[in-house]
């Protein structure tokens, strides 16, 4: 009987432990991250914080108060979940006057020939690798979103 009790006390924590790589972000945590990012903005009026790393992908919280540059990730797809705010996503086309800003990262001032998509809270967007995309905000607007960056 003692052996069974001892075995159960050793096994029970393993049963209730979270699986490796599991992560849960509550709505409260997302709101807290949104509030914490606003004061950390760069000169480009964007702030981000890594929310977790998981092998071939990682998560970011982002807060934006101005339009971003056009960008293309050669080896990563973006899965974006819009938390609050409104913007326009320009996707596809080409990035004239583009330049490499990091390994596998291309940036430029704008996109030519892309498709415009209005985005707002609750929207979910998947942008495949090698696809130009740019978030455009009207003056005075803000956008808060969660992005999962998935490596090929």
Cβ neighbours for 3, distance < 8 A, ≥ 6 positions apart: none
Whether 125 is covered by a domain: the verdict is: yes
pTM for the structure as a whole: 0.81
Using pLDDT thresholds of 50, 70 and 90, give the confidence band for residue 13: low
Query: What is the pLDDT averaged over residues 45-52?
Result: 89
pLDDT over 70, % of the chain: 89
Answer whether residue 14 is part of any domain.
no
Tell me, what CATH number does 114's domain have? 2.60.120.10
Tell whether 129 is covered by a domain: yes
d(CA 151, CA 76): 4
More confident residue, 30 or 66: 66
Domain span at residue 39 reads 23-151
Q: Report the candidate in 37, 84, 78 with the shortest Cα–Cα distance to residue 58.
A: 78
Residue 3 lies in a domain: no
Domain count, the chain: 1
Average pLDDT over every residue of 68-94: 97
Distance CA 55, CA 57 (A): 6
| Dihedral sign computed on CA atoms, order 18, 36, 133, 74 | negative
């Amino acid at each position: 009987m003692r052996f069974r009790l001892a075995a159960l006390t050793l096994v029970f924590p393993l049963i209730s432990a979270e699986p490796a790589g599991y992560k849960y972000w509550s709505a409260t945590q997302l709101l807290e991250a949104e509030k914490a990012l606003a004061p950390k903005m760069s000169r480009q009026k964007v702030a981000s914080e890594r929310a977790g790393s998981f092998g071939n992908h990682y998560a970011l919280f982002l807060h934006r108060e101005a339009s971003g540059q056009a960008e293309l990730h050669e080896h990563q797809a973006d899965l974006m979940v819009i938390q609050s705010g409104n913007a326009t996503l320009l996707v596809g086309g080409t990035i004239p006057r583009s330049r490499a800003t990091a390994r596998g990262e291309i940036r430029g001032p704008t996109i030519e020939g892309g498709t415009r998509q209005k985005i707002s809270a609750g929207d979910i967007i998947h942008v495949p690798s090698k696809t130009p995309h740019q978030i455009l905000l009207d003056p005075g607007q803000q956008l808060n979103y969660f992005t999962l960056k998935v490596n090929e």
